[in-house]
Structure 1
């Protein structure tokens, strides 16, 4: 029977020509073959099925190449076979850590080498690898190691891949957002952040504040971990079964794979913030923000301050309203009617929200269009220890907060820790490494289409509230510890804050 989809797919793409050439491979005579995206070689005279055939997959094992006279020099970045020392001749199979190497294929003539170089270049182009990148380096994040990471981890691999780049360092808060907002995007195939997660979020916000936001947000973004949390890199590499490392993050960008990424509009009145990771309120936000004074400790500051906060566990009054995803309608209690709310005199009905906000000068993105009349809301009442609303599985390399989260399913994963004893809270923190904390009876874990937080005061206080933190940015603060040099926050603590998801709006470089 004929394939009913054959007409819709169109004619098959022509197959790349297979090249076969006698050559010297790393000094040994061999027969070299380029078939599809596989570069293979066999020692001269070897029996075809003798097991002496070696290969490299251009897509997954090769950084780049260059032609020098009769020599084709291939820069490799492949896993070595655990049974023998890693070597370029052992590429193309086995497990283990990726190692850099070089394969030199010396042809019989310069014309042959040039022909092979052009063929490999065409195959790389078909794979969608980036040719020009803007690399934004945050020299202040984490342990202030952004410059070193760029020089030692990023630059060698980027140069080996033959990618042209412009590097720009951030000098102040929201600088990356300003860069993305004014950038000539036609000059680049992607924007890379050498930083923690915060710079990535700044870039996304900058792209969505442009008047050409609908095309700008499709410029793929990428991230190389040089911060404290690095949750996005961990989530991306974990989804592909890749170990967490800077070099694996860089190679994922070089390979050019992209995946869609949900963008969440976080709204209070007329104020909007665009999130691609998570929002926290309660224990985790307190730890993340208040531990800043111990930044000199590096990533250990999180563990240290977590213990301090559990010893003096805070609980917060408030209410969380949400529209459950299909299959999660059993969580919470039904709300008879939820309409638009007003904050500082500004209506925040999502029925008003269209895909953009236009005036005589600009037209920028304002979040997804949602008719709230069609939404069936439910609610959870406090007190709460923590509310974690996430689009990705990990908050950092060692913290899995939302084990069922997906990058572009159109839903947010809510993990709500209800009032619990200190001993339980400590146990939950320890079980966040593998995500098993969500199995606790003190945790409500469910997916939502939209969510609204109505934050209250700390239990036992008539004046002190908490911190609402989104992707490392303090959105609202209701405590009394704000310092004079801390920037003014985007939102007020107390009025409702609503989150709605635009499915797959952005693109991000991914291992697969």
Structure 2
């Protein structure tokens, strides 16, 4: 559609199924609906619908051969402020406007008129004629991956009840794939012909997206593959990235099914933004790509030990926190980091600062079948250790990706210009690159999805159980960094290294357990893309 034509108002008069008459005014930003009066009644108050809340519009011909009219259905998901006051949740609620188009006795002309309005509404709902979002591509074909066992085990039901009809209303076609085992999604995207889809959508907790990201980065065409827009629908118990996306959109915090509807709405709108990824190197030469966090100590312990409470959903983390507080552990280790430059200006490696075309900056992991001859090319993991796959009965694969230019091998000291934390006794260390650590935990309120920054937070030994509990209660509002607790450290970094000295412990990456031992990471700004608001 011509942008100049899209800016011109459209006017029309239609009826409803009950034969009431309505006057419609379509501007570049609103659909104005006024119920017209009769000889005895005046016209009623107008209803103004913001096209930013519209996800789709359909035109159909009459199914009854004797009826020559056509129908026009418009689908909105506004934030219902009145409902929000009643339930303390500013959630989106579905609103459908349906009109009968009968401008002629010819059914073909009526359908053409309905289709003309449908095209105009859809165009204005997904574009800004002022040039703000006019060039944003809208994904149309989705690969939807669902983990049926995530969270409370209700992901398929939630998809059917809330998301399926939204995709249909937005005229989005999709292929549904239910994962059958661990790393099924990883294998699928590693081998798939991604040209079939405009986005890969994950409905699960954060673990399934972790599989997808690493499957894409294991492809030979990783540079192109990782640019496939990723969609997130919360179906697990953590749902940290989904909560972060809702937070970045400027929406009020919601949880549970309200968060699912919010993310489904943004998915249907189809706006795509950049997403940082972090390269994580383990002592065994294994390299992973992370989109959310790395944790050691209290946070990792709660995440893994609360698995037994998965049936209660997001409340599992609250239960796990209470249990772990009763027996607080202290871990010995060493933490070092490379501070981010201030003011930050995307100084970390990004898609624009790293050449992906000539192959010279590719940091491939070359893995031979004989473990005693493993070689690591262009990577900064410890080359003295054997490769250990992180999934069972899988052959080693080649991990691709940009060169970790900020890191040195794990068996060498960190560079002299890095900062080393003097404290060696920790309760927790966590590195996060999104705002949320769970639906109700805002770990890095200043984070943005593409700021190229790792938010590194650590809690030193000596903190009381009560103070630690207050810290996590404050994190529910993102106020924990304002508590001025002397045992808490926080810094924005580009890279870090963690070396545990305690013989046992848990390290998680995006909520998944990884090999325990020395680990280091650096962030890559804007390496991936995410469908967001």
TM-score, length basis structure 1: 0.79
SS state of the match for residue 99, structure 1? Answer: coil
Counterpart check, 1:377 vs 2:418:
yes
Of the structure 1 ranges 229-238 and 290-299, higher mean CA displacement relative to structure 2 is found in: 290-299
Give 2:466's aligned residue.
423
The equivalent position to 2:23 in structure 1, one of 10, 28, 31, is 31
How does 1:285-304 map onto structure 2 within 5 Å?
285-304=300-319
- C-alpha distance in 2 between matches for 1:375 and 1:134: 46
The offset of 1:201, in angstroms, is 1.4
Q: TM-score, normalised by structure 2?
A: 0.76
Partner of residue 262 from structure 2, selected from 245, 248, 253: 248
Would the aligned equivalents of 1:195 and 1:225 in 2 still touch at CA under 8 Å? yes
Q: SS where residue 501 of structure 2 aligns?
A: strand
Matches within 5 A, 1:139-150: 139-150=148-159
Correspondent of 1:388 among 402, 405, 430: 430
**Counterparts of 1:469-488 in structure 2 under 5 Å?**
469-477=508-516
SS at match of 1:119: helix
Would you say 1:443 and 2:488 are equivalent positions?
A: yes
- Post-superposition CA distance 1:86-136 (Å, at most 9, x none): 9xxxxxxxx953222221233314132232223334445656332211110
Give runs of aligned pairs for residues 93-132 of structure 1, distance below 5 A: 96-107=90-101, 108-109=103-104, 110=110, 111-123=112-124, 126=127, 128-132=137-141
After superposition, give the CA deviation of every residue in 1:369-391 in whole Å (9 maximum; x if it has no partner): 42569982001131000001000
- TM-aligned CA deviation for residue 278 of structure 1: 0.3
* 2:57–2:118 contact (8 Å) kept in structure 1: no
| Alpha-carbon distance in structure 2 between the residues aligned to 1:289 and 1:363 | 28
Question: Gaps (5+ residues) in structure 2?
Answer: 62-68, 105-109, 128-135, 345-371, 383-396, 409-414
SS in 2 for 1:78: coil
What's 2:401 paired with?
366
Q: Distance in 2 between matches of 1:364 and 1:476?
A: 17
Question: Is the 1:218–1:506 contact (alpha carbons within 8 Å) kept by the matching residues of 2?
Answer: yes
Matches within 5 A, 1:29-428: 29-44=21-36, 52-68=45-61, 69-80=69-80, 82=82, 96-107=90-101, 108-109=103-104, 110=110, 111-123=112-124, 126=127, 128-242=137-251, 243-244=253-254, 245-268=259-282, 270-327=285-342, 365-370=400-405, 376-380=417-421, 381-419=423-461, 420-428=463-471
More strand by share: 1
Cα distance in 2, alignment partners of residues 173 and 217 from structure 1: 21
**TM-superposed deviation, 1:77:** 2.0
Q: Would you say 1:507 and 2:499 are equivalent positions? A: no
Contact 1:368–1:500 under 8 Å retained in 2 = no
Provide the rounded CA distance (Å) in 2 between the counterparts of 1:352 and 1:103.
Answer: 58
Q: CA deviation at 1:230?
A: 0.7
Following superposition, the deviation at residue 18 of structure 1 comes to: 3.5
Matched, 1:453 2:498: yes
- CA drift of 1:85 comes to 12
Q: Is the 8 A contact 2:508 2:514 kept in 1?
A: yes
Q: In 2 relative to 1, CA 375–59 (structure 1 residues): closer, same or farther, beyond 3 Å?
A: farther
Describe the SS at the equivalent of 2:467. Answer: helix
Which residue pairs with 1:490 in the alignment? Answer: none
Structure 1: runs of 5+ lacking an equivalent: 1-11, 87-94, 330-343, 354-361, 458-463, 478-492
CA distance in 2, matches of 1:352, 1:387: 20
| Structure 1 Cα separation of the partners of residues 26 and 336 of structure 2 | 58
Structure 2 counterpart of 1:461: none
Q: Is the 1:279–1:470 Cα contact (8 Å) retained in structure 2?
A: yes
CA shift in 2, pair 1:62/1:299, >3 Å: closer
Give how far 1:285 is off.
0.5
CA deviation after TM superposition for structure 1 residue 347, in Å: 6.8
Deviation of 1:179 (Å): 1.5
Q: How far apart in 2 are the matches of 1:256 and 1:346?
A: 42
Q: Which region of structure 1 is more displaced relative to structure 2, 68-77 or 211-220?
A: 68-77
CA distance in 1, matches of 2:154, 2:318: 20
CA RMSD in angstroms comes to: 3.1
Q: Compared with structure 1, are the counterparts of its residues 81 and 241 closer, same or farther at alpha carbon in structure 2 (3 Å cutoff)? A: same
Q: Deviations over 1:36-71 (max 9, x none)?
A: 24322345589xxx9944332333234432333432
Question: Is the Cα contact below 8 Å between 2:34 and 2:44 reproduced in 1?
Answer: no
